Amino acid sequence: MAEKHIENAECMVDGLSVAATAERLGVAVTTAFRWRHRFLRSPQKIQPLQLTGVVEADETFFIESFKGQRKGLPRPAKVRGTKAVKPGLSKEQIPVLVARDRSSGATLSAVIASRKAKDIGEKLSPVLSDDCLLCSDGYKAYGVIAKAKGIQSKSVPAKKVAGSYHIQNINSYHSRLKGWMHRVYGVATKNLDNYLGWHRMLDKDNCMDGKTFLNTSFR
């Protein structure tokens, strides 16, 4: 069984789908799914304790998904890859906060209840150092959070650079996250935080092997 667990961890490092993992390990799809989320209990809780220096912050969005749920759906089931019904931001779009310490690369990523300052601040404020500078795209919630925290803030449009002020690191992270999520064929919203933790692990150490992944998952 220990060997199977290491193999499963290697599949997770490779970003394989549940079906591909089950085939490689020679186990049922339900077993591969259960192991995957058991391995992600710890990673999804591992977040930076503090972000210092210049901290970039912004949100990205994932379409609400009830993947795997057969009963109690609040709407008709959709075919995988179906676009949101409404254009732009809506209740169909689940916001994910990403904040990154530019100097160390330490990254916070978390599902948030809304884009309101209180919901963003609940995740972000506790990890901001008292002397950091918060860079954002100008969304007003970040100014509210910075003022409440008593820290400096700078607003720069998402694709603009004003000297050393920009959120290009966040834009790059969002791109890597979205590309990686595409490899696992979509994620149920209820499991999204697990997958964010999984991605943080791999993004931090792109040379991670199965044993390291396994040790981190059960520490």
Neighbours of 193 (CB within 10 A): 18
Least-confidence region, from 64-78, 106-120, 121-135: 64-78
DSSP annotation of 181: H
The encoded tokens of residue 107 equal: 């990254």
Q: pLDDT for 68-105, tens place per residue?
A: 544 554 545 555 555 544 444 557 789 999 999 999 99
Report how far residue 14's alpha carbon sits from residue 8's, in angstroms, rounded to the nearest whole number: 10
Report how far residue 211's alpha carbon sits from residue 23's, in angstroms, rounded to the nearest whole number: 20
The CA–CA distances, whole Å, from 213 to 14, 24, 208 equal 11, 18, 7
Nearest in space to 128 (alpha carbons), one of 148, 158, 155: 148
Q: pLDDT for 38-62, tens place per residue?
A: 999 898 899 999 999 999 999 999 9
Average pLDDT over residues 134-153: 95
Average pLDDT over residues 5-25: 92
Tell me yes or no: is domain 54-177 CATH 4.10.410. no
pLDDT over 90, % of the chain: 63
**DSSP codes, 4-64:** HHHHHHHHHHTT--HHHHHHHHT--HHHHHHHHHHHTTTGGG---S-B-SEEEEEEEEEE-
Tokens 């791109």 belong to residue: 175
**Average confidence score pLDDT of the chain:** 87
- pLDDT value for 48: 95
